[in-house]
Amino acid sequence: MRGPLAPPPHEHAGWAGRWDDPDRAFSTLYVASDPRTAIREVLAPLRPDAAMVDAFGAASREVQAARRVPLGETDRARRLASATVRFGALADVSTAGGRTVVAERYADVLATHGVAHLDDTDVTTRDHRFTRALTRRFYADGLDGVRYASNVDGGECFALFEGRYALEHDPTRHVLLTPSEAAAIVREAVLELGLVVVP
């Protein structure tokens, strides 16, 4: 796959995601059903750090205000927001029932990582070693990705494994967000998260 919908080359991938392959053999595409959830997920790591605010007060806010959000490069985001994503079977950790199925099938992974019962907190923790171990097993079992809930706003999200999904954008079937619509969604999320917009 090439063009604006293609995944980045492995050498440019961040490999910092919750469901990334620990061996870096395949990349993971993170998408959400609602564009607002997708934008919040991307911008959330830029929020002011509570420890810095507590330690340095207003001075830290001024420093962190430099963490600004540019609105100039929105083409890829707009195309992704209006694309159709096709995939097959997923592991589902977004519901209690789905987590029960995963816990039973991958009990050895849970045991290795000291997870007694698979709860939502186990798949939203900042320690990604457990979820990445699950990713490797999901991929080996032929699954196309993971359905999970955003830990920012609870929205439906998907982590899709490279080579196991297809992105389609047909201008005759999909309405592309205009730059102003995309900017409005970003501005809304920026205000919610206490960030600063750079025009």
At residue 162, the 3 state secondary structure works out as coil
Average pLDDT of span 138-144: 98
pLDDT digits (tens, 9 = 90+) for 167-185: 876 666 656 667 787 778 8
Average pLDDT of span 141-160: 95
pLDDT for residue 113: 96
pLDDT for residue 116: 96
pLDDT digits (tens, 9 = 90+) for 35-91: 888 888 888 887 777 777 777 766 655 555 545 555 544 455 555 556 678 899 999
pLDDT for residue 1: 45
- The better pLDDT of the pair 21, 166 is held by 21
- The better pLDDT of the pair 21, 85 is held by 21
Strand spans (E) along 10-169: 28-32, 68-70, 84-87, 90-92, 145-149, 156-161, 165-168
Per-domain boundaries in the chain: 19-198
pLDDT for residue 90: 97
pLDDT > 70 in the chain, percent: 76
Neighbours of 56 (CB within 10 A): 14
Strand spans (E) along the chain: 28-32, 68-70, 84-87, 90-92, 145-149, 156-161, 165-168, 196-198
pLDDT > 90 in the chain, percent: 44
pLDDT digits (tens, 9 = 90+) for 124-137: 988 999 999 999 99
pLDDT for residue 2: 46
- The better pLDDT of the pair 161, 61 is held by 161
